[in-house]
């Protein structure tokens, strides 16, 4: 809702700029550079699970002392709740959930909340989106996910807490039809003509943290890997076949992934051709012969307890997800030339993860219960420049799915979706998510410190139809309900903050917002009746309701768009400003 001459007087435009300046001083505005949330308790906190969290604290604190760093204070409860909820579910905590958590005086409420979040179905939804980017990449995401098989497979795998070793074996050794077996979609992402080479580089990087693809044409310039080792590794994929299929009566094509009984691998550009037999990076070999499934044997070698890279890589990846930087950084570049910042901690975490049966929820629980995770993002004089010793939480830009979910929750779209056919809303949400991925997506593993708002990102948030229509008081979304249900201006401001930023405003923020609201209480509504964002049209009309209806709009259900609420304009400005703030766009 950009202020414009059509909407307001020059005086109000000037004051709106003052509102932005006020929020910038308070430190919540971003300087752009060009599911339900109930209280389900899923388990009793196991104190033995927290032992590894204390080990993290000890190892990290030792490095603080060595480097002369004073850690930041612990995050406050609202900051922690928003951070953990976004990290584990991709969602914002609901306003009433925030208030209940703030009122809870129990000492272990954070540990209980972490367990509760891990038990929500949204946990699987969020990590499915995370791993789609890891496995498929944003550039191929639309094409690969079109058949709809991989995402449900991932959601189920995370919600049932499939052991990570089995999870990886499923992807590396996948066989079957792409629209029936979700794991096969990782294999079909590779060019069939280049599959052994491409898949070798991807598997070693994603699951081992080894950049062996750098040795494809010559020996690795910095590490020990040779060109022969790369092509011996690629030979594991020489019998993988991907072919197009089309079921009778179906318009959409699928893919069949299978292992052939025969097929050898010759190193490219050798004359005479050099035949390479499969050899794992540790030097382990497999039996020869047509009865041997090479990818299955590789999957066993990769997930073996004796493999020195497997557990260390996933522990490092999850540390990076939650802390903004890996113990080894870049996260997929393990080697003598890139040592970990905390080598003992990395080893202890990896060994502990293996001993717990490759339990990913356990790994999440260990990291989130550590002090370093729960530190504030506000720095002090000693740690302001610290970017790798975890003496404060790092600002991390929201992922596309976190941002879309947050916008949907803050606006009320998710709640209105309860009136829409579930399948239709799921399709609609995926379409919008693809747009967000195109604009906001970044390469897997990119550091938060490298993030700068781009012009398309700024315009999508500042002038995008989704964010603008979401705060129209005539749209029957959250803001309209707040203004209709609450009369007191201060309580309205409190609820807008809780809905958008998942916290109460500070005294200074409340005072400044109230002054703005009172000054422009009589500002006219925007001229005209703009069409809502196409993704919201079904949520703004009576036909989405259940069981028909009389087509009348009462502010709660279908029919004609609701009339603008008197005095709503400055509240719309407040929520619009918060939606474009650093606090909303980042996890902090």
Q: pLDDT tens for residues 179-213?
A: 889 999 999 999 888 999 999 999 999 999 998 88
User: What CA dihedral angle connects 413, 553, 532 and 544, to 10 degrees?
Assistant: 60
Across all residues in the chain, what is the average pLDDT? 81
35-49, 188-202, 447-461 — most confident range: 188-202
Helices (H), 209-252: 227-234
Q: What's the whole-number mean pLDDT along residues 333-352?
A: 95
The verdict on pTM exceeding 0.75 is: yes
Q: What's the whole-number mean pLDDT along residues 475-492?
A: 90
Domain ranges across the chain: 10-34+397-587, 162-302
For the chain, give the percent of residues with pLDDT over 70: 71
* Residue 135 pLDDT > 50: yes
HEC profile of 329-369: CCCCCCECCECCCCHHHHHHHHHHHHHCCCCHHHHHHHHHC
pLDDT of 37: 34
Pairing of the two strands 586-587 and 265-267: unpaired
Task: Please tell me whether residue 74 adopts helix, strand or coil conformation.
Answer: strand
HEC profile of 509-532: HHHHHHHHHHHCCCCCCCCCCCCC
Element holding 493 (H helix, E strand): helix 489-501
* Residue 455 pLDDT > 50: no
For the ranges 223-232, 258-267, 494-503, the lowest mean pLDDT is seen at: 223-232
Q: pLDDT tens for residues 90-114?
A: 999 999 999 999 999 999 999 999 9
Q: pLDDT tens for residues 269-293?
A: 888 889 999 999 999 999 888 889 9
For the chain, give the percent of residues with pLDDT over 90: 54
Omega into 330 within 30° of 0, i.e. cis?
yes
Q: pLDDT tens for residues 154-171?
A: 999 999 999 999 999 999
pLDDT of 176: 94
């Amino acid at each position: 809702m950009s202020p414009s001459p059509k909407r307001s007087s020059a005086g109000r435009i000037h004051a709106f700029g003052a509102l932005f300046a006020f929020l910038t001083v308070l430190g919540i505005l971003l300087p752009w550079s060009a599911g339900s949330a109930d209280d389900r308790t899923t388990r009793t906190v196991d104190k033995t699970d927290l032992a590894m969290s204390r080990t993290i604290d000890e190892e990290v604190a030792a490095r603080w002392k060595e480097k002369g760093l004073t850690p930041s204070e612990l995050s406050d409860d609202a900051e922690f709740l928003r951070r953990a909820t976004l990290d584990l579910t991709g969602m914002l905590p609901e306003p009433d959930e925030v208030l209940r958590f703030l009122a809870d005086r129990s000492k272990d409420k954070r540990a209980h909340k972490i367990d509760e979040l891990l038990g929500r179905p949204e946990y699987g939804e969020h990590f499915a989106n995370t791993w789609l980017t890891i496995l498929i990449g944003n550039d191929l995401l639309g094409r690969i996910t079109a058949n709809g098989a991989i995402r449900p497979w991932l959601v189920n795998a995370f919600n049932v807490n499939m052991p990570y070793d089995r999870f990886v074996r499923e992807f590396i050794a996948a066989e079957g039809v792409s629209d029936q077996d979700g794991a096969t979609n990782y294999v079909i992402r590779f060019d069939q003509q280049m599959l052994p080479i491409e898949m070798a580089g991807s598997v070693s990087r994603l699951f081992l943290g080894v950049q062996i693809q750098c040795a494809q044409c010559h020996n690795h310039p910095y590490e020990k890997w040779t060109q022969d080792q790369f092509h011996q590794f690629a030979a594991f994929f020489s019998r993988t076949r991907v072919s197009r299929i089309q079921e009778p009566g179906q318009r959409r094509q699928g893919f069949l992934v299978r292992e052939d009984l025969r097929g050898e691998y010759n190193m490219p550009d050798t004359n005479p051709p050099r035949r390479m037999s499969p050899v794992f990076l540790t030097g382990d070999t497999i039996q020869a012969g047509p009865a041997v499934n090479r990818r299955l044997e590789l999957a066993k070698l990769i997930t073996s307890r004796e493999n020195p890279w497997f557990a260390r890589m996933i522990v490092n990846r999850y540390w990076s997800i939650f802390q903004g930087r890996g113990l080894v950084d870049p996260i997929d570049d393990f080697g003598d030339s890139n040592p970990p910042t905390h080598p003992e901690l990395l080893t202890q975490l990896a060994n502990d993860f293996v001993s717990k049966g490759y339990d990913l929820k356990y790994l999440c629980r260990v990291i989130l219960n550590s002090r370093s995770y729960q530190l504030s993002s506000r720095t002090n004089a000693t740690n302001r420049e610290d970017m790798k010793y975890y003496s404060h939480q790092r600002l991390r830009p929201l992922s596309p799915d976190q941002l879309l979910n947050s916008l949907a929750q803050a606006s009320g779209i998710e709640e209105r979706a309860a009136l829409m056919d579930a399948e239709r809303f799921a399709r609609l949400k995926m379409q919008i998510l693809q747009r967000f991925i195109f604009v906001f997506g970044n390469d897997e593993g990119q550091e938060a410190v490298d993030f700068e708002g781009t012009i398309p990102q700024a315009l999508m948030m500042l002038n995008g139809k989704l964010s603008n229509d979401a705060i129209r008081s005539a749209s029957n979304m959250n803001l309209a309900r707040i203004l209709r249900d609450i009369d007191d201006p201060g309580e309205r401001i409190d609820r807008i903050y809780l809905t958008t930023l998942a916290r109460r405003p500070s005294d200074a923020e409340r005072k400044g917002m109230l002054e703005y609201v009172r000054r422009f209480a009589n500002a006219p509504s925007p001229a005209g009746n703009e069409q809502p964002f196409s993704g919201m049209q079904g949520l703004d009309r009576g036909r989405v309701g259940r069981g028909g209806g009389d087509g009348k709009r009462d502010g709660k259900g279908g029919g004609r768009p609701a009339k603008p609420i008197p005095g709503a304009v400055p509240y719309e400005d407040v929520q619009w400003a918060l939606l474009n703030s650093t606090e909303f766009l980042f996890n902090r």
